[in-house]
Structure 1
């Protein structure tokens, strides 16, 4: 009688999750450096939060590194009311938003003509736009002041908007001209065969493809314009037209400065930019990483 032998079929079940790979020494060093760098970057903001709610007496006795003994809000309230911070906040937002939008539009039109339109001497034109960003702003104060004075645009937001639209547009043109110079010709030829004009190709083909880069440019144009000080100080001479940096400058006296009010005002001026970065964080991430993937 034949006998059959049964082979064991029970096998050890594979783990659902593999064991995590141990980090190497180099990876731990990078993690530690990233944490240290994050602390260094966040330290000024922590100092603002720590000292914005101190009274002048508390700040003078305890110093900037101690916790406040009481919750003091008079500095924020005084700055908000006396300096009309909401108006300055609106002026900064309006100027920065208009420069961001107009700067991107000017950059796209110029770069399309240079990079895709194949204008003669496009290399020299691109270098000319680059040199426009190398000029110090001090050289622009007197001629622009004279021009806006004759044009009756002094102490109006449009003096700053027109100035920084040209400045930011020059940088955007230099950046986008190089990008559009490598734009696939096959896509444009296919659009032309479908009957698309140059304007339609720009609006329906080029702009959607380069939208991540344009979004990054718009965000940086906004932040750069928001933080500008010298040219707005030269052009905006009325209290109704002051921006946030100019209002902060008024708190610094020649002989005496209310440090706690200045710190509280600085905190108020930083909060909008932090909110702006949090809102457009994904836009920045997508735009920066878009060039790494074809």
Structure 2
């Protein structure tokens, strides 16, 4: 009985996730004149809605901008988070608790509180309306979570690993690269996926810090697209699917590593 209830719960959970995607896909294939598309699959699917949305909104340049920002943010943020997390997990300094607490304050700092001063700071150094205006602030904004994530991973490892490396004469850098990082692949993959998803979906900072519409991220461009075609539900649904498809494909490709990174415990 318990086994059947578990399967039923999993099926309901899967349906709750897949149903919205199917509903959006059904709406995207409706004729443009249908202002209130239902959940029925259209008898004559209008696949051309995707081509119309792509050319009208300029999703080619928007997706390129999102990719540039994400690729610029993820490697640097992951490396810095790994180094800082390793330092805070293995350091014996009395100040590491204070430093970690100050860093965690960043988790409670919303974008809305920093976007205005950030705008003037970037304008003063000439970085406004460039990809750096997004890449640099996002690296800093993602660091608190990244350090928290990697510190928790390194602290969960058996201390015998680092002790054995120290007995063999390995330096701190050698211990990190040769001993600890091989065990951190799921954690690193999960962190990189989260950073990529957050950078790809960046809306507020892209809308304010980048004035050129062609350089904005895909979600920011989609927001402008909604203003122009707010009543054309099929076209809006097609644009939404275009924006979220890369993230969905990336998650499906790294699904095993993502789930393993989320569920990994202290025993390695």
Settle same-fold status: TM greater than 0.5: yes
CA distance in 2, matches of 1:180, 1:67: 49
- What's the C-alpha RMSD, in Å, of the aligned pairs? 2.1
How far apart in 2 are the matches of 1:290 and 1:259? 41
Q: Is the 8 A contact 2:158 2:267 kept in 1?
A: no
Residue of structure 1 equivalent to 2:101: 127
Q: How far apart are the structure 2 equivalents of 1:145 and 1:73?
A: 40
1:56 has 2:56 as partner: no
- Maintained 8 Å contact 1:56/1:259: yes
Contact 1:116 1:183 in 2 (8 A): no
Structure 2, unaligned runs of 5 or more: none
Deviations 1:93-147 (A, max 9, x none): 2212332221111111111221112233212222222211101111010111111
Contact 1:132–1:170 (8 Å) recurs in 2: yes
Q: How many residues align?
A: 268
- The higher-RCO structure (CA 8 Å, 6+ apart) is 2
What corresponds to 1:99 in structure 2?
A: 73
Tell me the SS of whatever aligns to 1:251: helix
> Which residue is 1:38 aligned to?
14
How far, CA to CA, are the matches of 2:38 and 2:134 in structure 1? 36
Structure number with greater Rg is 1
Give the whole-Å Cα distance in 1 for the aligned partners of 2:153 and 2:92.
13
2:219 matched residue in structure 1: 245
Alignment of 1:258-277 (within 5 A): 258-277=232-251
Aligned in 2, Cα 1:227/1:276: closer, same or farther, shift over 3 Å?
same
Query: Alpha-carbon deviations, 1:176-198, whole Å to 9, x = none?
Result: 22333354444334334444322
Cα distance in 1 for partners of 2:177, 2:186 equals 15
Give yes or no for the alignment of 1:230 onto 2:204: yes
TM-score by length of 1: 0.83
Q: Quick check: 190-199 or 258-267, which moved more?
A: 190-199
- Residues 238-288 of structure 1, C-alpha deviations (whole Å, 9 max, x = no match): 123111101111122279532211111011112111110111012113323
Deviations 1:189-246 (A, max 9, x none): 4334444322222222222222221111111111122222112211121123111101
Structure richer in helix, relative to its length: 2
| Bigger shift: residues 173-182 or 96-105 | 173-182
CA contact (8 A) 2:27 2:233 kept: no
Return the alpha-carbon distance in structure 2 between the equivalents of residues 287 and 73 of structure 1: 37
Per-residue CA deviation, residues 20-51 of structure 1 (Å, 9 max, x unaligned), is xxxx2x33222222212221211110011111
